[in-house]
A and B are shown apart, each in its own frame.
Chain A
Amino acid sequence: MPLWEKRRSALVLAGLIVFHVLLISIQVPQGAEKSIFERSVFFVFAPVQRAASGTVRGLGSLWNGYFDLRRVRSENQKLKRQNFFLAQNLRFLEDRLQLIQSEIKIKAALAEFESTIVVARVIGVDSANPHQAIVIDKGSFDGVAKDMAVCDRNGALVGRTIAPVGFKEAMVQLVTDKDSSVSVKSVVAGLTGAMTGRSTGTCDLKYVLASAPGGEADEELRTTGFDKIYPAGIPVGTIQSLAPDEVSPIFRRIAVRPYFRLDTIDVVAVLTKGPGGGA
């Protein structure tokens, strides 16, 4: 009997172990670029994830739609009232804007703003730790590329797109990932530092000198744009607590609570222009 028949199980296992050890070895130390093999696996399985997520969403919409119909009458009345007031507000704001800029300039600015945003749905989360990454249903065909800022529906920073970017799917590194870093500044005291994740629901604001004055809990943090990835001025979160850093006494230990909520995030906006977008 040939060796293959006698030791088939052991040979398959040995081959697979060698394959994995080689696969892991070529990534250590980890580089920024993903291997072709890893990208290929993502390209194969991401459309499956997209289809499954779409099906669940469709069924959910059908179910919600039934109940929504029952509430729609009363909501319609309410919305009509709201619409009236919103129209008044819009009119007021338009009048105010006219005082500042000409109509052509306003239209150009609005058109440019709209073209910089790609709206995407969240179709998956990181399989090892949900606070590290999410997968969205827009990719290179929609103008999404690596290193573009991603915000939630309220305009708060969620993270940035990273490789692999598929044709219709892309991976987003969340600001809560421990390998993420965002240059931020507090709006009142002007504390500037790098916000890094903990791979939990909270983050740290690092490299703020102990001698830096001011700063208090609930103070808002916004991006500075220094990192050349995130545009300046995007709200990121609030300071949760401040304390002296016992490990590095020259810095302050600042905990940050990001605005975006992983459990409710469903739609995001990818900013295709700006520092990270390259345009």
Chain B
Amino acid sequence: MRETVGGDVLRAFLGTLVAVVVYSVAGAGAPALLVVFNVFSVVVLYFSIRRGEIFGALLGTMCGLAQDAFSLGVFGVAGLTKTLLGFGTGYISRRIDVAPFTRNALFMLAMSVLEMVLWVLITAVVRVKPVNLQGGLILLQPIVTALVGSSLFALERRIKTRSSRGA
């Protein structure tokens, strides 16, 4: 099937809806959880690895802007960082094998750390104020993102293995 940018935009929009739903559910359950768990990053990482850099960039844009819309920060900062996250993740994952769990987790960790550094830098420059790191708690975000993301892939592999055994 021929992949089109239009189709990717639609899929990215659906991916963003998934992120908003998970973010809303997590926020309703435990607001403090959102400091260490960025569901938008998890969604961008997961789908970028599966579908490549163009889809990753589009999904990053949509997820980032959705995140910005629910925040008092400067609109577009998360959009920019997640666009770069999606593109970078999709681009690199097409060139190196990131399927094994440990490699997958480390790759996601590295990308999440890069995204966070970029977000902190851009926010500090744009707002001309130091970024509130929530007493260091926010630094756990890349670790949680990497663990959740790689667990999703592991879960997906396990389900596929079981269904192929059953067939």
Instruction: Contact check, A23 vs B76: say whether CB atoms are below 8 A apart.
Output: yes
Interface of B, secondary structure class, is helix
Tell me whether B1 is interfacial, beta carbon within 8 Å: no
Closest to A262 in B: B31
**Which B115-149 residues sit within 8 Å CB-CB of chain A?**
122, 126-127, 129, 132, 134-135
Tell me whether B42 is interfacial, beta carbon within 8 Å: no
Instruction: Contact check, B75 vs A126: say whether CB atoms are below 8 A apart.
Output: no
Instruction: Contact check, B75 vs A128: say whether CB atoms are below 8 A apart.
Output: no
A: contact size bracket: 35 or more
Instruction: Contact check, B31 vs A20: say whether CB atoms are below 8 A apart.
Output: no
Instruction: Contact check, B72 vs A179: say whether CB atoms are below 8 A apart.
Output: yes
Chain A residues within 8 Å of B70, by CB? 42, 45, 49, 124, 126-127, 133, 135, 171
In the assembled complex, the Cα of A131 lies from the Cα of B9 at a distance in Å of 32
Tell me whether A56 is interfacial, beta carbon within 8 Å: yes
Chain A residues within 8 Å of B38, by CB? 127
Given A9-B91, A49-B24, A52-B24, decide whether A133 and B17 contact each other with a Cβ distance below 8 A: no
Chain B residues within 8 Å of A130, by CB? 27, 31-32, 34-35
Tell me whether B89 is interfacial, beta carbon within 8 Å: no
Chain B residues within 8 Å of A173, by CB? 72
Tell me whether A91 is interfacial, beta carbon within 8 Å: no
The total of Cβ contacts below 8 Å across the A-B interface reads: 151
Closest to B53 in A: A9
B: contact size bracket: 35 or more
Instruction: Contact check, B76 vs A20: say whether CB atoms are below 8 A apart.
Output: yes
**Which B31-86 residues sit within 8 Å CB-CB of chain A?**
31-32, 34-35, 38, 40, 53-54, 57-58, 60-61, 65-80, 83-84
Chain B residues within 8 Å of A19, by CB? 61
Instruction: Contact check, B71 vs A45: say whether CB atoms are below 8 A apart.
Output: no
Instruction: Contact check, B5 vs A125: say whether CB atoms are below 8 A apart.
Output: no
Interface residues of A (CB under 8 A from B): 8-9, 12-13, 16-17, 19-21, 23-24, 27-28, 30, 34-35, 37-38, 41-42, 45-46, 48-50, 52-53, 56-57, 122-130, 132-133, 135, 162, 171, 173, 177-179, 198-200, 262-263
A12-B5, A16-B61, A124-B24 given; name 16 further pairs at CB < 8 Å: A12-B54, A12-B58, A16-B60, A19-B61, A24-B122, A30-B127, A35-B75, A46-B69, A49-B70, A124-B27, A126-B34, A126-B72, A127-B38, A128-B67, A128-B71, A132-B71
13 example contacts (A-B, Cβ-Cβ < 8 A) are as follows A12-B58, A13-B57, A16-B57, A30-B74, A37-B75, A41-B69, A45-B16, A45-B66, A45-B70, A123-B28, A126-B70, A127-B78, A129-B71
